Amino acid sequence: MTEKEVRLFGSWASAFSLRVEWALKLKGIEYEFVNEDIPFNKSEELLRLNPVTKKIPVLVHNSKPLPESLVIIEYIDDTWTEGYLIMPKDPYEMAQARFWAKFAEDKCIPATFGVFLKEGEAQQKMLQEAREAFKTLEQALGSKNFFGGDQIGYLDLAIGWYAFWIPIYEEIESVSIVDNKNAPLLKAWFSKILDVDMIKTSLPPRDKVYEFSKHLQPHWRNASPLK
């Protein structure tokens, strides 16, 4: 059997590998998906391919490995230049998209995991931080349908998983992080992005992700997924 030119080491339950899959699908790139048993049973091959962070996702293109999902998405857009454009063409818009993706990684994700993993007063503090961060993030959307404009782009891929995962965390913890009162534009975007065919058809089963998240919650409380 010959190895596919493009392989993605990921996990069925990882939002970070899913965002890379979305980029590959938008470009129409054929790839082999290698499912890693994260976090307890990483393969030797993954550790060899990504000795620095030892995390998924790792894209392997023509035997060359590349980690970090947002870096991978840019690499995909730069390498397969035909067809769907993921990054905005205009340099200023491109820089803005990168700025907001960084804001989301630095502010929205830690606060969201904080809500999911902390309890009591500490959770309430994280909830307030998360709600403020999402309200701020909403500014990047404004009156557009998607962060990328009329169609999904880089920032939609970077944060699209929120639309699927946040309601699951909200349900498990009986809290509201993104709602019509706090961030109505973002909440409406949740529905819009989940309705995009490519996104809708590539999501893992909700009940499996729900169970998996609940199952890992105690482990993540001791070893944050963001460490």
The token duo for 201 is 């058809």
- Tell me the closest approach of the beta carbon of residue 184 to ligand GSH, in angstroms: 28
Binding-site member from 57, 114, 160, 167 for ligand GSH (CB under 6 A): 57
The terminus-to-terminus CA distance of the chain in angstroms comes to 37
Binding of ligand GSH by 38 (CB under 6 A): yes
- Tell me the closest approach of the beta carbon of residue 20 to ligand GSH, in angstroms: 8
**Amino acid identity, residue 8?**
L
Binding of ligand GSH by 58 (CB under 6 A): no
| Contact flags string 143-172 toward ligand GSH, x per CB under 6 A | ------------------------------
- Tell me the closest approach of the beta carbon of residue 106 to ligand GSH, in angstroms: 11
19-57 burial: b if 16+ Cβ within 10 Å, else e: bbbbbbebbebebebbebebeeebeeebeebbeeeebbb
- Measured in whole angstroms, the distance separating CA 198 from the mean position of its chain's CA atoms is 15
- Measured in whole angstroms, the distance separating CA 4 from the mean position of its chain's CA atoms is 24
- Tell me the closest approach of the beta carbon of residue 124 to ligand GSH, in angstroms: 25
Residue range at the interface with ligand GSH (CB under 6 A); choices 65-73, 110-118, 128-136, 192-200: 65-73
Binding of ligand GSH by 14 (CB under 6 A): yes
Q: Are the beta carbons of 209 and 165 closer than 8 angstroms?
A: yes
Binding of ligand GSH by 55 (CB under 6 A): yes
**What is the spatial distance between Cα 73 and Cα 68, in angstroms, rounded to a whole number?**
9
Residue range at the interface with ligand GSH (CB under 6 A); choices 23-31, 67-75, 78-86, 125-133: 67-75
